Amino acid sequence: MPTADLLLLLPLSLVLAGALVALGFEPFLQRATKHALLPWLSALFLVLAGVAQTTVEPGHLHGILAMDTARLWLCVAIIAAALCSIAGLQQSLGRDEYPGGESYALTLFATVGALVMTMANDSLALFIGIELASLSIYAMVGMRRSRPESNEALFKYFVMGSVFSAIFLYGSALTYGATGHTGFGHAAIDTQHLPLLMFGQVLMIIGLLFKVGVVPFHFWAPDAYTGAPVAVTGFMGAVIKVGGFAALGAIWLNLVALMSGTHSGGVLSLGETVTLTAGGSEQLEKLNLAFLVLGLLSLVLGNFSALKQTSARRIVAYSSVAHAGYMMLALALPSTGTEIQLGSLWFYLVGYAIATAGALSAFAAIAGKDDLGDNLSGLAGQGRAQPFYGLMLTIFLISIAGIPPTIGFLGKFFVFADLVAKGKVLIAIFAMVMAVVGAAYYLRMIIALWAATNKEPTLAPTPMLARWSLSAAAIAVLALIAWPNQLTKGGVAAQAQAAPTAKTASPSVAQPVPPVVR
């Protein structure tokens, strides 16, 4: 195996090794030692994986897993979110004297799954990533077996997640039947197989829409987010969304290139600028319209439902639905122009993942025993009592709300500007109005955080891992605004087009098939 291929697998291998080491040590450690040693052990492997990730060159592994600049940034965001979540778990589980330490290994296994989802250029590889991430998170959602809401959340999430995984797998089978291979890249397709291909692709997309929590596939989110520990809630909201939307974007770009007759049959970069033609416009327009409708519904339902909540976790659950709506709008095809590029989506995802995981990890420290203080009244005055966590939580919430000068503001700005450039001005204006509505419930949390109160505040220690990871995440949220071109037009698009693998056919994805008859 070439050295470049080994380097592409190195970050995955390091995180997987960390999960196995943590799982192997866990039975032999005392309860107190588990929550002191295992978080640091997990963090060490995550940091090593993050460093290794920055050394990976653009390329692909036989067309199954791919790496480009956009994927690299998304993978780094996943690793950063996992690191914040590990710090949050250390505080909440150590405070609650949770007897097991398996949650740290499960977090790393889920991280591996999300990384595979992000790098996948093949439906079977993507399915393996989905299941590895999902099964690990199912277990973490149901960690507190003595609490009824945790058991209910696990049951709903597991059953419905299994159903939609089966839908995704069935779609993969239909796509294989239409094309003869499992890769995303299709240079051409016989018209008699086109309906089968489109049906298979739609089923795969539906399976992914459930994973990322888009309306009407969001019904699992409020219960799952509420039943899980606070730090797990942040991990779910951040990491699964990155992996799910990376996979969704890869499938969408490849499908657009195929239907437009511009696909080379090779591995497309996530930063690729795809040229649109009139060919296949009817099928693409129907799917594009569905994306827009689901995105707008997610904005409305997510934001207005979050306004009524008093539980921080339910606010995050419904706001994650709203954020999924913005991401769906970023997938839209242009009304005017002949090109589509998803740089705004990737930038939005990076900022959202880091800020969400950081916010929930900071909140885990002040939520009280068993996270019973996760409502707004429990949040009151905690910023004054614990300035470090108050400052960290404020920075992350400002970013998630899309308020300058944070990466979250720039992410929303790019999505809105992209919609305007695509000729969808009214949709952009509506999305801006929804952003103002969304900012209201985040500001409500910030006001409660710093409000004066007479009650005795919950005081939590500040472990070194939490200080380092949350501080690094906060700096990233404020500093990454200086490098937007790495994930938007002129950055990743230009680099991806220059990368040799973006236009080079691979043995597993570029099998010759009959041309489309137009």
**pLDDT 10s digits, 383-405:** 888 888 889 999 999 999 999 88
d(CA 414, CA 344) in angstroms, rounded, equals: 5
Instruction: Look up residue 153 and give its amino acid.
Output: A
Q: What pLDDT is recorded for position 500?
A: 38
Is residue 494 pLDDT above 80, yes or no? no
CA distances (Å), origin 128, targets 252, 265, 340, 426: 19, 23, 29, 39
Which one has a higher pLDDT value, 506 or 136?
136
Q: What pLDDT is recorded for position 90?
A: 86
Using 50, 70 and 90 to split pLDDT, how confident is the model at 372? low
Which one has a higher pLDDT value, 228 or 368?
228
Q: What is the mean pLDDT of residues 396-419?
A: 91
Q: What is the mean pLDDT of residues 21-33?
A: 84
Which one has a higher pLDDT value, 187 or 426?
426
Q: What pLDDT is recorded for position 516?
A: 40
Find how far residue 94's CA is from the centre of its chain.
27
238 DSSP 8-state letter? I
Q: What pLDDT is recorded for position 457?
A: 60
Q: What is the mean pLDDT of residues 364-374?
A: 69
| Residue with the two structure tokens 């934001």 | 303
Q: What is the mean pLDDT of residues 341-364?
A: 90
Is residue 210 pLDDT above 60, yes or no? yes
d(CA 92, CA 313) in angstroms, rounded, equals: 15
Q: What pLDDT is recorded for position 93?
A: 79
Q: Which of helix, strand or coil describes residue 315?
A: helix
Q: What pLDDT is recorded for position 34?
A: 84
Find how far residue 351's CA is from the centre of its chain.
10
Q: What pLDDT is recorded for position 278?
A: 55
Using 50, 70 and 90 to split pLDDT, how confident is the model at 233? confident
Mean pLDDT of the chain, nearest integer: 83
Q: What pLDDT is recorded for position 77?
A: 94
Read off φ and ψ for residue 60, nearest 5 degrees: -150, 155
User: Which residues are paired to 439 by β-bridges?
Assistant: none
Q: What is the mean pLDDT of residues 66-71?
A: 89
Is residue 164 pLDDT above 70, yes or no? yes
Q: Which of 138-152, 180-194, 393-407, 440-454 is predicted with the least confidence, judged by mean pLDDT?
A: 180-194
Q: What pLDDT is recorded for position 237?
A: 86
Using 50, 70 and 90 to split pLDDT, how confident is the model at 218? confident
Using 50, 70 and 90 to split pLDDT, how confident is the model at 455? low
Q: What pLDDT is recorded for position 305?
A: 92
Q: What is the mean pLDDT of residues 442-453?
A: 85
Find how far residue 232's CA is from the centre of its chain.
14
User: Which residues are paired to 61 by β-bridges?
Assistant: 65
What share of the chain in percent tops pLDDT 70? 86
Is residue 205 pLDDT above 50, yes or no? yes
Q: What pLDDT is recorded for position 254?
A: 86
The secondary structure of the chain in percent helix, strand, coil, rounded to multiples of 5, reads: 70, 5, 25
Is residue 515 pLDDT above 50, yes or no? no
Characterize 141-168 residue by residue with b for buried, 16 or more Cβ atoms within 10 angstroms of its Cβ, and e for exposed.
bbbbeeeeebeebbebbbeebeebbebb
Q: Which of 105-114, 204-213, 362-371 is predicted with the least confidence, judged by mean pLDDT?
A: 362-371
Which residues lie below 8 Å from residue 258, measured CB to CB, with a gap of 6+?
Answer: 186, 187, 188, 189, 280
| Residue with the two structure tokens 């730090």 | 231
Cβ neighbours around 410 below 10 Å, total: 22
Cβ neighbours around 252 below 10 Å, total: 25
Q: Which helix (H) or strand (E) holds 61?
A: strand 59-61
Question: Omega of the bond prior to 334 within 30 degrees of 0, cis?
Answer: no
67 DSSP 8-state letter? E
Torsion of CA 177, 182, 188, 190, to 10 degrees: 0
Q: What pLDDT is recorded for position 493?
A: 34
Q: What is the mean pLDDT of residues 406-410?
A: 90
Is residue 518 pLDDT above 70, yes or no? no
Which one has a higher pLDDT value, 86 or 375?
86
- Assign residue 402 a region (left: φ > 0; alpha: ψ between -120 and 50; beta: otherwise): left
Instruction: Dig out the tokens for 410 from the structure.
Output: 């720039």
Q: Which of 227-231, 423-427, 431-435 is predicted with the least confidence, judged by mean pLDDT?
A: 227-231
Q: What pLDDT is recorded for position 508?
A: 32
Q: Which residue intervals of 260-403 are DSSP H helices?
A: 281-307, 312-330, 343-366, 376-379, 382-385, 387-401
d(CA 141, CA 347) in angstroms, rounded, equals: 28
Q: What is the mean pLDDT of residues 34-63?
A: 89
Using 50, 70 and 90 to split pLDDT, how confident is the model at 150? confident
pLDDT digit string, tens, across residues 285-340: 888 899 999 999 999 999 999 998 888 888 888 999 999 999 999 998 887 667 78
CA distances (Å), origin 471, targets 79, 359, 479: 15, 11, 12
134 by Cβ neighbours in 10 Å (0-12 / 13-18 / 19+) ranks as buried
Instruction: Dig out the tokens for 124 from the structure.
Output: 């079977």
Is residue 82 pLDDT above 50, yes or no? yes
User: Which residues are paired to 60 by β-bridges?
Assistant: 66
Instruction: Dig out the tokens for 305 from the structure.
Output: 């439902």
DSSP string, 199-229: HHHHHHHHHHHHHHT-TTS-TTHHHHHHHS-
Q: Which of 127-136, 247-256, 382-391 is predicted with the least confidence, judged by mean pLDDT?
A: 382-391
Instruction: Dig out the tokens for 254 from the structure.
Output: 């490849």
Q: What pLDDT is recorded for position 266?
A: 72
Q: What pLDDT is recorded for position 336?
A: 62
What share of the chain in percent tops pLDDT 90? 42
Cβ neighbours around 286 below 10 Å, total: 12
Using 50, 70 and 90 to split pLDDT, how confident is the model at 506? very low
| Residue with the two structure tokens 């207005």 | 304
Q: Where are the domains of the chain?
A: 14-502
